[in-house]
Amino acid sequence: MIVDNADAFLSAFAALPVRAEGATARAAFLITPAAFSLAVESAGDNRYMDLGLPVDPLRALTEHAELARRLGEDLPVASFPGDPAAPDGIFPNNVFATVPGRLIIGRMRHAVRRREAERHDIRAWFDLLGYAASPLPSGGYVAELTGSLVIDRARNIGYCGLSERCDRTGARAMHEAFGLDLTWCFDLAAGEYHTNVVLAILAGRAAIVAPDGFADARVPMAIAKAYAGATVVLDAAQKNAFAANSIALSPSRAWMSARAAAALRDDQVATLASAGFSIGAVELGEIEKAGGSLRCCVAEIY
């Protein structure tokens, strides 16, 4: 079922069971920075990028190596080499995602991102694991996977923000590819490019939401109601610090950048703790210059 209003969402949400297993990934993969730089093409619709900032490739590589090491505390992590011709490749979750037995490959808006979808090494690696490559069907639409689609795997629900990076046709294609029971489509606020910058669902038990990232205020209100008592509501400064660009890779820890963690108030940290989550923070200041943060770096393997 695909819905487009808060009442229909809340009614459907209440009827869906919570799965005992599969709320978090079995493993994850990253793509390392290579000659780290900012993608000029992507900056056209990513307000979190500033092409005027100098970048330090060595610092980005060091941050990324530490990220892989730290995430390995919660699950197995593989890292693929980056491609200097694809500077946004450090954010693979927009291009690659999985369901058991299948590697889903998205449809990217920008040519600099479409190059990533052609990587034969990643496809071959998943073939060795027994995952069939499953590109989204051809057509004149855009669907940037778990950048545009935030998934509650415990309930099999997708939250799909429509923007230049995902249209309604793309939302339907992802709904079908992921085999979701419910997808809620809504417009992101003007200037927002991906849902995972304004919303995180942590292991199906908690939500982090930035209300000013949505075109309709009823959307974040309904999400907060659905995850009542376990929702962290961000202000604009916290959103801009990437506090919603977080992920749970185990049932007991929410990962985010050091900048994001520092932006949270004590009461917000307490809300996450009451839902069973400690916070894992990793310094990603250099990587964040490319317009994404920790969650964007992580492609989950289910």
Q: For the chain, which domains are there?
A: 2-301 (3.75.10.10)
Burial 94-132 (b: 16+ CB within 10 A, else e): bbbbbbeebbbbbbbbbebbebbbebeebbeebeeeebe
State the pLDDT at residue 43: 45
**What's the pTM?**
0.94
Considering the chain, what is the average pLDDT of its residues?
A: 93
Q: Is the pLDDT of residue 235 over 50?
A: yes
User: Could you give phi then psi for residue 38, rounded to 5 degrees?
Assistant: -100, 135
State the pLDDT at residue 173: 98
The lowest-confidence range among 31-40, 143-152, 206-215, 274-283 is 31-40
Tokens of 188: 């992101």
Task: Say if strands 182-187 and 157-162 run parallel, antiparallel, or are unpaired.
Answer: parallel
The lowest-confidence range among 49-53, 182-186, 273-277 is 49-53
How many CA atoms are closer than 13 Å to the CA of 249, on its beta-carbon side? 27
Q: Is the pLDDT of residue 233 over 70?
A: yes
CA 239 to chain centre: 14
State the pLDDT at residue 115: 83
The average pLDDT across 96-108 equals: 96
